[in-house]
Chains A and B, each alone.
Chain A
Amino acid sequence: MKKTVFIFVLSLVIISIFANQTEIIFEEAINSYHDKDYQTALENFSLIENEGIINADLYYNIGNCYFRINEVGRAILYFKKALKVESDHKAARRNLDYALTFTKDKQDSENENVIRSFWQKAFDVLSINLLAIISLFIFVLIIMLICFMIIHYRNREKTVPIFITTVLIFLFLAFLIISLLKWQEFHKTDEAVLLSISAIGYSGPGEDFTRVFTIHEGMIFTIERDEENWSLIKLENGLGGWIKKDTYVRIEL
């Protein structure tokens, strides 16, 4: 008994010390950034990242550091990561849009279609955890209504509660579908950012094939298939081609 308590206390102390440590590193990184020592700031932020912390603000700060030391590709990667964690992270969205204007290839992060962009916005505003809470809440309401009906409405007219329950179920299903999409988006790892200065897309996995396109640092694309050192990618505009694996990094947490 005494032993478990001791271990528990010890682990608490370690966690608090550890948390303190990261906070100190974070402070240092911010001070370095203030002093325009972006390299040090980046190193410190990366230390925190390596602790396994998944945090949009942290990614955003790392992206900013990379942008300051003129690594636009990595900056875009980290802004994308921040948006992946928090799709409604406004600062990250703004910086991503700005950083994208520095790439050689023109690409729009937002779709120009009004309906799609509206949908995208609604999709972004609802964070995945908010969706989880909302769907749980609706689920509780439905279950409570069903229980209420079972207990109190056994031999009575049930039209109103059934109607309400049906509406709630539809709402619930809608939220569940959005959640599923969101969850898929969160866990998908097929998006990537090109980090090397340029990459050539071939029609097959090898340099002997026909050149299809040339893309430059900061390009965002999706990966469709891997084959040894080559990946089949698809660009936003629909172009597809094989590029070398070591030229890009996947946007994953």
Chain B
Amino acid sequence: MKKIIFVLGLLLTVQFLLSQEIEVESYVDKTKIGISDLIKYTIEISGEKVGNISTPRLPKIENFENLGSSTSSSSSYSIVNGKMTSKATKSFTYSLRPKKIGNHLIPPITIKIKHKSFTTDPIHIKVSEGTTQPAPPTSSSFTQQSNSSLDLSDNLFLIADISKKNVFEEEPIIVEYKLYSRYDIANLAFAGDTNFEGFWKEDVFKPESINFKRETYNGIMYNVMLMRSVALFPTKSGKLNIPSLDLNVDIRTQSHSFFDFGTTKRYNIKNKPAAINVRPIPQNNKPSSYSNAVGKFKLSSNISQTKLNVGDSFTYTITISGTGNLKQFDIPKLKEVNNLRFLDPEITTNINKNKISGKKTIKYLIIAQEKGNYTLPAVPFTFFDTSSGSYKTLQTKPYQLEVGEGSLTFIASSSAQSIVSKEGSDIGFIITDGVLTSKSIYYDKFFYWFIWFIILLLIPASVLYSNERIKLKGNIDYIRQKKANKILKKYMKEASAFAAQDDPGFYAAAQLGLSSYLADKLKEPRGSSTEDIISKMKLRSIPEDLLEKIKTLFNTCDQARFMPGGFSKERIETDFQLIKETINEIMKCKF
């Protein structure tokens, strides 16, 4: 129960606080006026619920006469994340007439709204003789005035806002260029590049679109736009000029009638030149560990493990954070420790949006190479402290390491390897086992070309061979003649087989073989009778006695085959010999 009440109470307070968001501002339309002019003094109250605020009573202002007041109000609604917020603005404009010439002051005015009092800023007014020009036409939310000649410098100007005017070398400053305007601006452009000589420059902000905010400056309400913001690191000492920004501004003039859309007029404006004083960094008492860092820094270190084995690696991290020239300075140097191998560090620099503060992280990977106890010594980091104007040295913690025996004795050292370098050059040594044969060029040798010639001869040879073959293919008798020997051999083989077995088949085979052979040789049809063969043979130059032998041979065969009792085992042997002899004799003959 108590809890609920507490939560409820909290919610109510929040609600109350939110509703109390009220802003009060006061401004005039001009700060330099003539004695016969009027100034418009406006008190603007904006907040969530300002609708029912009555016109605040202006106290009596010295040297001014209050001529009366008018009230205007506007409200806007916006929906953010589904929640609607409304904002209303109520302006009370008083017409004041100066009574005297001179510098006057509109004192701070206290206004009570919902039991809370707000105090406005005092405003200086300079009152001079005569009249000044009427107030210029401001953007439509301001007063409506025709465009007469304008007092440009009062209503449209550029200011360079420098964060620090007295700095040390390398100490960063931030310069913001702001455009103040009371005109309706149609377009804006940079007229040229700005050269920041003598500085190392980092851009912090560059506008992408025209974006004005309302702001009072010296008691007058202006539309203000941040044109550029840079972080500058002076690189030399002495008086350094902050360069001016060069802007082209197109101002829209007020339209006179419905069909007049107004014209634009271009103005070129620059901010007033400004300078800063840069002191050099004192050179005496400069510590040897000075790292060229200027600003204000903090140092911290971290180690991933303190107990490890040979071959293991660990990371050692040094972090430097703070404000200053983070990008430029050298990283603190590590002392070599025997048997610990430091690989090249990995350095990351994170710079904040304002470009002058951030964090630098230096990460070493270290490999333990031998067993033992080691100390990672403290690393000093010296920077120049700009706030005190002196050098400051920070130290990291020393670390104790315990390296135990590991399984790995050898470590691949790819980063420590180097390419074998050349140490000298000379001609090569002589050849000692050369074979002293004289080189002969085959193309110059007769024998080589003779081989070519011989090979070339293969073509006509093959043509001849081929022609011969074709000729023979067409001639059957020739083939028969060629094959006759083969056939005879076949039959004789058969015959000799029969003879070995004393078989009467011997005679049949012998006769058939002999007659076929002779028929082929004589180009007679196969199966010609013995008589035909004999008579044909007579026509050729065959010796008589051979003819006689053949005749008797055929007769013997006929007898043995067809006459009963013509076959006797005893005669086979002699007949076989006879046939062999006869065939030998026939072979020798020419047909």
Of residues 64 to 91 in A, which have CB atoms within 8 Å of B's CB atoms?
Answer: 64-65, 67, 85-86, 91
Of residues 418 to 450 in B, which have CB atoms within 8 Å of A's CB atoms?
Answer: 425-432, 434-443, 448
Cβ-neighbour of B434 out of A55, A65, A128, A154 (below 8 A): A55
Also in contact, A23 and B436, with CB within 8 A (given A64-B430, A143-B458): yes
Also in contact, A139 and B452, with CB within 8 A (given A91-B431, A179-B443): yes
- Taken together as a complex, chains A and B put the C-alpha atoms of A55 and B456 apart, in Å, by 33
A147 contact set on B, CB distance < 8 A: 458-459, 461-462
Q: Which of A46-54, A107-115, A208-216 contacts B (4 or more CB under 8 A)?
A: A46-54
Q: How many cross-chain pairs have Cβ atoms below 8 Å apart between A and B?
A: 93
In the assembled complex, A151 has its CB within 8 A of some CB on chain B: yes
B452 & A60 in contact (Cβ 8 Å cutoff): no
B436 & A151 in contact (Cβ 8 Å cutoff): no
Interface centre among B430, B440, B458, B469 (most CB of A within 10 A): B430
In the assembled complex, A5 has its CB within 8 A of some CB on chain B: no
B436 & A54 in contact (Cβ 8 Å cutoff): no
Also in contact, A150 and B463, with CB within 8 A (given A61-B430, A179-B443): yes
Also in contact, A30 and B443, with CB within 8 A (given A147-B459, A151-B466, A154-B466): no
A133 & B455 in contact (Cβ 8 Å cutoff): no
Also in contact, A129 and B441, with CB within 8 A (given A151-B462, A151-B466): yes
- Taken together as a complex, chains A and B put the C-alpha atoms of A91 and B430 apart, in Å, by 9
- Taken together as a complex, chains A and B put the C-alpha atoms of A140 and B459 apart, in Å, by 11
A99 contact set on B, CB distance < 8 A: 427
**Chain A at the B interface: mostly helix, strand, loop or mixed?**
helix
- Taken together as a complex, chains A and B put the C-alpha atoms of A179 and B452 apart, in Å, by 15
Interface centre among B429, B431, B438, B440 (most CB of A within 10 A): B431
Distance in angstroms from B291 CB to nearest chain A CB is: 48
A52 & B443 in contact (Cβ 8 Å cutoff): no
A183 & B438 in contact (Cβ 8 Å cutoff): no
Also in contact, A55 and B427, with CB within 8 A (given A143-B456, A146-B459): no
- Chain B contact patch, size range: 20 to 34
A-B CB contact pairs (8 Å), 27 listed: A19-B436, A54-B438, A55-B436, A55-B439, A57-B431, A57-B434, A57-B435, A64-B427, A64-B428, A94-B427, A95-B428, A98-B425, A98-B426, A98-B427, A99-B427, A128-B442, A139-B452, A143-B455, A144-B458, A147-B459, A147-B461, A147-B462, A150-B459, A150-B463, A150-B466, A179-B443, A186-B441
- Taken together as a complex, chains A and B put the C-alpha atoms of A54 and B438 apart, in Å, by 5
Also in contact, A30 and B439, with CB within 8 A (given A136-B451, A150-B462, A151-B462): no
- Taken together as a complex, chains A and B put the C-alpha atoms of A61 and B430 apart, in Å, by 5
B452 & A136 in contact (Cβ 8 Å cutoff): yes
A56 contact set on B, CB distance < 8 A: 439
A183 & B437 in contact (Cβ 8 Å cutoff): no
Distance in angstroms from B454 CB to nearest chain A CB is: 10
A132 & B442 in contact (Cβ 8 Å cutoff): yes
In the assembled complex, A230 has its CB within 8 A of some CB on chain B: no
Interface centre among A26, A55, A139, A144 (most CB of B within 10 A): A55
Residues on A close to B: CB < 8 A? 19, 22-23, 26, 30, 33, 48, 52-58, 60-61, 64-65, 67, 85-86, 91, 94-95, 98-99, 128-129, 132-133, 136, 139-140, 143-144, 146-147, 150-151, 154, 179, 183, 186
A143 & B459 in contact (Cβ 8 Å cutoff): yes
B438 contact set on A, CB distance < 8 A: 52-55
- Taken together as a complex, chains A and B put the C-alpha atoms of A56 and B466 apart, in Å, by 49
List the 9 closest A-B pairs by CB distance, nearest first: A57-B434, A132-B442, A147-B462, A61-B430, A57-B431, A95-B427, A53-B438, A54-B439, A150-B462
In the assembled complex, B329 has its CB within 8 A of some CB on chain A: no
B430 contact set on A, CB distance < 8 A: 30, 33, 60-61, 64-65
A33 contact set on B, CB distance < 8 A: 430
A48 & B436 in contact (Cβ 8 Å cutoff): yes
- Taken together as a complex, chains A and B put the C-alpha atoms of A144 and B456 apart, in Å, by 10
Distance in angstroms from B52 CB to nearest chain A CB is: 91
Interface bits B446-487 vs A (CB < 8 Å: 1, else 0): 001001100110110111011001100000000000000000
B437 contact set on A, CB distance < 8 A: 53, 55
B470 contact set on A, CB distance < 8 A: 154
Distance in angstroms from A15 CB to nearest chain B CB is: 12
- Taken together as a complex, chains A and B put the C-alpha atoms of A143 and B461 apart, in Å, by 11
- Taken together as a complex, chains A and B put the C-alpha atoms of A183 and B441 apart, in Å, by 9
B428 & A91 in contact (Cβ 8 Å cutoff): yes
B428 & A94 in contact (Cβ 8 Å cutoff): yes
A129 & B434 in contact (Cβ 8 Å cutoff): no
Q: Kindly report which residue of chain A lies nearest to residue B463, judged by CB atoms.
A: A150
Residues on B close to A: CB < 8 A? 425-432, 434-443, 448, 451-452, 455-456, 458-459, 461-463, 465-466, 469-470
Distance in angstroms from A64 CB to nearest chain B CB is: 5
Given A57-B434, A57-B435, A98-B425; 10 other pairs, CB 8 A cutoff: A23-B436, A26-B434, A30-B432, A55-B438, A60-B431, A64-B428, A64-B430, A129-B441, A140-B455, A146-B459
Distance in angstroms from A47 CB to nearest chain B CB is: 12
A85 & B439 in contact (Cβ 8 Å cutoff): yes
- Taken together as a complex, chains A and B put the C-alpha atoms of A23 and B435 apart, in Å, by 9
Q: Kindly report which residue of chain B lies nearest to residue A79, judged by CB atoms.
A: B427
Distance in angstroms from A253 CB to nearest chain B CB is: 8
B439 contact set on A, CB distance < 8 A: 54-56, 85-86
B456 contact set on A, CB distance < 8 A: 143
Q: Kindly report which residue of chain B lies nearest to residue A56, judged by CB atoms.
A: B439
- Taken together as a complex, chains A and B put the C-alpha atoms of A57 and B436 apart, in Å, by 8
Also in contact, A58 and B434, with CB within 8 A (given A147-B458, A154-B466): yes
A60 contact set on B, CB distance < 8 A: 430-431
B436 & A58 in contact (Cβ 8 Å cutoff): yes
- Taken together as a complex, chains A and B put the C-alpha atoms of A33 and B432 apart, in Å, by 10
Cβ-neighbour of A26 out of B429, B436, B459, B469 (below 8 A): B436
- Taken together as a complex, chains A and B put the C-alpha atoms of A129 and B445 apart, in Å, by 11
- Taken together as a complex, chains A and B put the C-alpha atoms of A129 and B442 apart, in Å, by 6
- Taken together as a complex, chains A and B put the C-alpha atoms of A104 and B302 apart, in Å, by 62
Q: Kindly report which residue of chain B lies nearest to residue A41, judged by CB atoms.
A: B430
Distance in angstroms from A207 CB to nearest chain B CB is: 36
Q: Kindly report which residue of chain A lies nearest to residue B469, judged by CB atoms.
A: A151
- Taken together as a complex, chains A and B put the C-alpha atoms of A212 and B458 apart, in Å, by 60
- Taken together as a complex, chains A and B put the C-alpha atoms of A139 and B463 apart, in Å, by 18
Q: Kindly report which residue of chain B lies nearest to residue A102, judged by CB atoms.
A: B427
- Taken together as a complex, chains A and B put the C-alpha atoms of A200 and B440 apart, in Å, by 38
Interface centre among B435, B440, B462 (most CB of A within 10 A): B462
Distance in angstroms from A164 CB to nearest chain B CB is: 17
B435 contact set on A, CB distance < 8 A: 57
A129 contact set on B, CB distance < 8 A: 440-442
Distance in angstroms from B464 CB to nearest chain A CB is: 10
- Taken together as a complex, chains A and B put the C-alpha atoms of A86 and B432 apart, in Å, by 17
- Taken together as a complex, chains A and B put the C-alpha atoms of A157 and B458 apart, in Å, by 22
B455 & A183 in contact (Cβ 8 Å cutoff): no
- Taken together as a complex, chains A and B put the C-alpha atoms of A133 and B442 apart, in Å, by 8
A53 & B436 in contact (Cβ 8 Å cutoff): yes
Q: Kindly report which residue of chain B lies nearest to residue A27, judged by CB atoms.
A: B432
B458 contact set on A, CB distance < 8 A: 143-144, 147
B448 & A132 in contact (Cβ 8 Å cutoff): yes
Distance in angstroms from A140 CB to nearest chain B CB is: 6
B434 contact set on A, CB distance < 8 A: 26, 55, 57-58, 61
B452 contact set on A, CB distance < 8 A: 136, 139
